[in-house]
């Protein structure tokens, strides 16, 4: 078989495989391209995946010493949905929050909530009580499923917010309801009947923005399923673009290891939701541990690994130390942050059977976006790749909103059915980034003549610490709570292991002094631990100003990084 270009492979699949037939549809007054014959809702993915999972008989979900077949998982989803409807009163359109680490229950709850036509509210498991309160108020979720540590933080909010709480795992006895008993006593094993439209809301997933509080990104069923089938199409295109050697063995059953938190789009969409129609097995890690990850990949024939670049690097270090090449792994992807270019060749050498891949996507795009793998990536390690076909469109815009020529730096702007519906309760913020169906991403990049995008900067003041987005204004707001702080500016500090960590510069009252340790003690309980400053600089004079009279964050950052010792 002769290798095809990416574009030719996409056209061939669209024209010959009815599953990937594309048509034009109108979504919220905007015409977009979408798949015509795919499942139209997230819960429909569960039924559509039945044949891909050998009619339910294959093992689907593994977690520590627990295991479920696809049939068992499906029955659990239906029973959880029935219990929520009958015992907790969840109805179509209600918002139901999930607050927990990576457990099998989280996966079942996502689909069970969706089967009722209710809306999943993903909350960050690392948040403090104060941060959880914001999200629960903002989303108006009245039912919350939580594990022990999250339940302890949410219990003080129960009366004030009128919450119905259901415990999971170590929260089993902390509330009147618990997941295990609800599922066990459910009155039905059948999927509930709910008329869900493809443009109904599927989920609210919180993403840090340029304001102190996170934004609730509202994702629709259409957005999620079209993103899933865009990735599924890549697997169909792959043997056309890179034909296997004659006599090569058949590819093994896909099997994904989920190592990033399931409250992030990187884990939920291109791993969990994709696994349903792709026939892939899912193995969950409760919490990242590189040595455990090497063991799971080796012993469970894992083929797919997708994590933040820090995790790829730590996986490589442990594998090299143990003399493991992990030959079953054919995909080693990175998302959530840019992988250092020098790491690409090292990963290829350490894992010779794996296609080293990179991807760029956003919570606002259901994780769909740009990517590349293998030789393309090794040849262009600084690039983010090409737009995943066939539904997306891309423009590079200047500050005035005009499209820029190839090679000029501007804002990456995308259009597809996977774009979010809105920011919850924030019409002005929505209007700022969504314009005629085009999403202004806030990321700055250049597009070359071959279609490759290189991302060079961010307009948004976001620190990406090991894949976790941290809003600078969020950190600054907490720092301003200290009585001696007149001004606070947060910024990213390069870190070899995590990519970036939080740095902060403080303008203190005359005569005042503080240390990093003292400030961390003051911030305890106000910010999640991953948001806490790792470096602190202090001074008694005002900060330099930009043209708008705001603190000149870039100049302050440069000055601090040039003076690594904190000064008072």
How confident is the model over 391-405, as pLDDT tens digits?
999 999 998 999 999
Domain membership of residue 567 (yes or no) is no
The CATH number covering residue 498 comes to 3.30.300.30
What is the rounded average pLDDT of the residues 474-495? 90
**53 belongs to a structural domain:** no
How many of the other CB atoms lie within 10 Å of CB of 436? Answer: 8
* pLDDT for res 548: 46
Q: Report whether pLDDT(250) > 90.
A: no
Task: Outline where 354-466 has alpha helix (H).
Answer: 375-379, 427-433
Task: Confirm whether 176 is domain-assigned.
Answer: yes
Last residue of a domain, one of 186, 219, 252: 219
278: in domain = no
Query: Quick check: 167 pLDDT over 90?
Result: yes
Confidence of residue 565 (pLDDT cuts 50, 70, 90): low
Whether 409 maps to a domain, the answer reads no
| Residue 340: C-alpha distances to residues 79, 469, 498, 519 (Å) | 45, 18, 11, 31
Q: Is the pLDDT of residue 6 over 90?
A: no
Least confidently predicted of 204-213, 266-275, 279-288: 204-213
pLDDT digits (tens, 9 = 90+) for 273-324: 999 999 999 999 998 999 999 999 999 999 999 998 889 989 999 999 999 9
Residue written as token pair 């610490």: 465
pLDDT on residue 477: 84
Q: Which of 155-169, 261-275, 432-446, 447-461 has the lowest mean pLDDT?
A: 447-461
Q: For the chain, how long is the longest CA-to-CA vector?
A: 77
Number of domains in the chain: 2
Pick the closest to residue 149 from 165, 166, 132, 171 (CA basis): 171
β-sheet with 304-307: strand ranges across? 66-69, 59-63, 281-284, 255-258, 304-307, 331-334, 355-361, 369-373, 386-387
- Tell me whether residue 545 is in a domain: yes
Q: Which stretch of 72-76, 153-157, 248-252, 392-396 has the lowest confidence by average pLDDT?
A: 248-252
pLDDT of 147 > 90? The answer is yes
pLDDT (tens digit per residue) in 331-387:
999 987 778 788 899 999 999 999 999 999 999 999 999 999 999 999 999 899 999
Tell me the average pLDDT across 545-562: 78
pLDDT attached to residue 205? 97
Whether the pLDDT of residue 475 is over 80: the answer is: yes
Check residue 197 and give its pLDDT.
Answer: 98
Average pLDDT score over residue span 430-444: 95
Of 202, 219, 236, which residue sits at a domain end?
A: 219
Tell me the pLDDT band of 208, cut-offs 50, 70 and 90: low
pLDDT band at 473 (very low <50, low <70, confident <90, very high): confident
Instruction: Give CA separation, 74 vs 23, 43, 68, 327, 528, in Å.
Output: 31, 10, 9, 31, 35
The alpha-helical segments, DSSP class H, found in 330-471 are: 341-350, 375-379, 427-433
Q: What is the mean pLDDT of residues 221-250?
A: 88
Q: CA dist 517 to 82, 483, 560, Å?
A: 50, 16, 18
Read off the pLDDT of residues 26-44 as tens digits, 9 standing for 90 and up: 999 999 999 999 999 999 9
Least confident of 74-83, 492-501, 549-558: 549-558
44-68 pLDDT, tens digit per residue, is 999 999 999 999 999 999 999 999 9
pLDDT attached to residue 113: 98
Give me the domain span that covers residue 213. Answer: 70-219
Residue 390: cis peptide before it, omega within 30 degrees of 0: yes
Q: What is the CATH number of the domain that holds 74?
A: 3.40.50.980
Report the pLDDT value the prediction gives residue 1, as an integer from 0 to 100: 56
Domain boundary residue, one of 160, 191, 219: 219
Mean pLDDT, the chain, whole residue set: 92
Mean pLDDT on 457-484: 84
List pLDDT tens digits, range 529-539.
Answer: 999 999 999 99
**Has residue 260 been placed in a domain?**
no
Distance set, CA 345 to CA 58, 195, 306, 324, 340 (Å): 36, 50, 17, 17, 10
């Amino acid at each position: 078989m002769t290798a095809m270009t990416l574009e030719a492979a996409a056209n061939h699949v669209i024209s010959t495989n009815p599953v990937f037939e594309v048509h034009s549809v109108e979504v919220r007054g905007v015409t977009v391209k979408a798949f015509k014959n795919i499942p139209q809702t997230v819960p429909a993915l569960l039924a559509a995946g039945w044949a891909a999972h050998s009619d339910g008989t294959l093992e689907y979900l593994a977690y520590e010493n627990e295991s479920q077949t696809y049939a068992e998982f499906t029955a659990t989803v239906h029973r959880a949905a029935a219990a929520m409807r009958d015992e907790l009163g969840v109805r179509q359109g209600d918002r139901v929050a999930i607050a927990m680490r990576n457990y099998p229950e989280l996966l079942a709850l996502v689909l069970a909530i969706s089967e009722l036509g209710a809306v999943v509210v993903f909350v960050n498991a690392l948040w403090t009580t104060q941060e959880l309160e914001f999200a629960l108020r903002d989303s108006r979720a009245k039912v919350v499923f939580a594990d022990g540590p999250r339940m302890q933080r949410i219990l003080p909010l129960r009366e004030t917010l009128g919450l119905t709480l259901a415990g999971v795992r170590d929260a089993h006895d902390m509330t009147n309801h618990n997941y295990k008993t609800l599922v066990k006593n459910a009155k039905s094993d059948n999927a509930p009947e709910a008329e869900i439209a493809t443009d109904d809301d599927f989920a609210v997933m919180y993403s840090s923005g340029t304001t102190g509080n996170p934004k609730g990104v509202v994702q629709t069923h259409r957005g999620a399923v079209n993103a899933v089938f865009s990735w599924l199409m890549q697997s169909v295109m792959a043997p056309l673009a890179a034909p296997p050697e004659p006599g090569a063995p058949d590819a093994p059953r896909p099997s994904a290891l989920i190592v990033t938190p399931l409250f992030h789009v990187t884990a939920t969409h291109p791993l969990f939701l994709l696994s349903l129609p792709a026939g892939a097995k899912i193995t969950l890690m409760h919490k990242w541990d590189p040595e455990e990850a090497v063991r799971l990949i080796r012993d469970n024939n894992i083929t797919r690994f997708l994590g933040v670049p820090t995790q790829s690097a730590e996986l490589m270090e442990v594998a090299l130390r143990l003399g493991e090449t992990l030959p079953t792994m054919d995909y080693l992807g990175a998302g959530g942050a840019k992988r250092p270019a020098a790491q690409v060749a090292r990963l290829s050498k350490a894992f010779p059977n794996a296609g080293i891949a990179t991807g760029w996507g956003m919570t606002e795009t259901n994780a769909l976006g740009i990517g590349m793998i293998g030789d393309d990536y090794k040849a262009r390690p600084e690039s983010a790749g090409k737009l995943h076909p066939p539904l997306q469109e891309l423009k590079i815009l200047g500050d005035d909103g005009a499209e820029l020529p190839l090679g000029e730096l501007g804002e990456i702007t995308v259009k597809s059915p996977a774009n979010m519906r809105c920011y919850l309760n924030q019409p002005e913020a929505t209007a700022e980034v969504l314009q005629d169906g085009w999403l202004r991403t806030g990321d700055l990049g250049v597009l070359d003549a071959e279609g490759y995008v290189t991302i060079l900067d961010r307009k948004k003041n976001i620190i990406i610490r090991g894949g976790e987005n941290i809003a600078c204004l969020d950190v600054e707001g907490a720092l301003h709570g200290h009585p001696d702080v007149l001004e606070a500016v947060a910024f990213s500090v390069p870190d070899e292991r995590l990519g970036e960590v939080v740095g902060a510069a403080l303008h203190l009252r005359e005569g005042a002094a503080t240390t990093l340790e003292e400030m961390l003690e003051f911030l305890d309980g106000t910010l999640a631990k991953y948001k806490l400053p790792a470096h602190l600089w202090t001074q008694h004079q005002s900060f330099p100003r930009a043209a708008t009279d705001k603190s000149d964050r870039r100049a302050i950052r440069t000055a601090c990084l040039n003076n690594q010792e904190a000064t008072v």
